[in-house]
């Protein structure tokens, strides 16, 4: 298995981060966040631990320490980066050296591997996970070791809508919505959503909501909303967009007060009205219903 994977390993691009290193509990990280850009689903990617742009951990204490590293998905209380979704499977990321033995005032490094399955629902999206570093406690200790947590941000390539002539400004967004209230997408997202017409002519575009397929729901670990649980009406639809231009769009969403709070999913589609073009642009909407 290992020899087969080595043939497809690609070096990941680590985007420069403005996040400062984390310095706590006698440990200092080389960066405040780790971002993989240009991740192509279906390929194995590696962030070299020996690279100056890779991940390293410094023991700032006067004593040698053993540090255990692990990867996890964001929890309900975690703050997600704007536009990022919790990674559906923490097992898509793993570490070459999950245990580092660090002499006093010395650093250690580890390679980080990423493999996202080849699935159109995972293309063109952004995921967030966490790398946690904990000091290893004696075997007979009953204490709980505190940890230093570093966000891992992944940006995948590709499109969820193959050969679509239209493109949303975001591939996915996360919204918090209260049951029974009818609100606009722009108000819920706190920003404008735009649509770009990449065709050579002006197109009248219809905005409509749809439920994700079972495959996508499994990938995103969400529950789909159906027409009996939600009602919606697109605002100013159809929207006329001139060739090669971008226009702000909006839609309304109301979730039934009868459904249980939790995580749900919808897709906002943009489809041409009077055109032979069959493909549509899709905006995946992850709902936290309260």
What pLDDT, on a 0 to 100 scale, did the predictor assign at position 276?
47
Return the half-sphere exposure (C-beta side, CA atoms, 13 A cut-off) of residue 130: 16
Torsion, Cα of 37, 41, 43, 49 (10° steps):
30
Q: Is 172 helix (H, G, I), strand (E, B) or coil?
A: strand
What pLDDT, on a 0 to 100 scale, did the predictor assign at position 102?
92
CA distance 14 to 111: 12
Give the pLDDT band of residue 1 (cuts 50, 70, 90).
very low
The fold of 2-156 is Immunoglobulin-like (2.60.40)
What letter does residue 90 receive in the DSSP assignment?
A: G
pTM above 0.75, yes or no: no
Assigned architecture for domain 166-289? Sandwich (2.60)
Out of 136-140, 169-173, 248-252, give the one with best mean pLDDT.
Answer: 248-252
Q: Which of 90-94, 128-132, 138-142 has the lowest mean pLDDT?
A: 138-142
The reply to whether 166-289 shares the fold of 2-156 is yes
Using the predicted structure, report yes or no on whether residue 3 has a pLDDT greater than 50.
no
Percent of the chain at pLDDT above 70?
74
What pLDDT, on a 0 to 100 scale, did the predictor assign at position 6?
34
CA distance 187 to 200: 32
Out of 37-41, 48-52, 164-168, give the one with best mean pLDDT.
Answer: 37-41
Q: Which of 135-139, 151-155, 159-163, 206-210 has the lowest mean pLDDT?
A: 159-163
Using the predicted structure, report yes or no on whether residue 249 has a pLDDT greater than 60.
yes
What pLDDT, on a 0 to 100 scale, did the predictor assign at position 15?
44
What pLDDT, on a 0 to 100 scale, did the predictor assign at position 142?
63
Mean pLDDT of 268-282: 67
Q: Record the tokens describing residue 249, joined without a space.
A: 């769009």
Using the predicted structure, report yes or no on whether residue 94 has a pLDDT greater than 80.
yes
Between 106 and 277, the more confident residue is: 106
Domain range annotation of the chain: 2-156, 166-289
What pLDDT, on a 0 to 100 scale, did the predictor assign at position 232?
57
């Amino acid at each position: 298995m290992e020899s087969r994977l080595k043939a497809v390993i690609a070096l990941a691009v680590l985007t420069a981060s403005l996040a400062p290193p984390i310095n706590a509990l006698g440990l200092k990280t080389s960066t405040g966040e780790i971002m993989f850009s240009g991740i192509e689903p279906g390929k194995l990617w590696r962030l070299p631990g020996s690279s100056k742009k890779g991940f390293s951990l410094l023991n700032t204490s006067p004593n040698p320490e053993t540090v255990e590293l692990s990867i996890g998905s964001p929890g309900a209380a975690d703050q997600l980066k704007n536009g990022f979704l919790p990674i559906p499977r923490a097992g898509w990321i793993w570490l070459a050296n999950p245990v580092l033995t660090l002499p006093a005032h010395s650093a250690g490094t580890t390679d980080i591997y990423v493999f996202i399955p080849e699935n159109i629902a995972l293309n063109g999206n952004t995921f967030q996970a966490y790398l946690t570093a904990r000091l290893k406690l004696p075997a007979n200790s009953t204490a709980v070791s505190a940890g230093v947590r570093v966000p891992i941000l992944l940006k995948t390539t590709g499109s969820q809508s193959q050969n679509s002539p239209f493109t949303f400004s975001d591939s996915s967004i996360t919204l918090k919505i209260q049951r029974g209230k009818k609100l606009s997408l722009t108000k819920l997202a706190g920003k404008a959503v735009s649509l770009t017409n990449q065709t050579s002519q002006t197109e009248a575009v219809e905005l409509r909501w749809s439920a994700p397929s079972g495959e996508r729901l499994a990938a995103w670990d969400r529950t789909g909303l159906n027409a009996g649980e939600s009602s919606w009406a697109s605002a100013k639809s159809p929207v006329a967009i001139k060739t090669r231009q971008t226009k702000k769009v909006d839609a309304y969403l109301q979730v039934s007060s009868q459904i249980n709070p939790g995580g749900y999913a919808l897709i906002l589609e943009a489809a041409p009205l009077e055109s032979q073009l069959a493909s549509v642009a899709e905006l995946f909407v992850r709902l936290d219903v309260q």
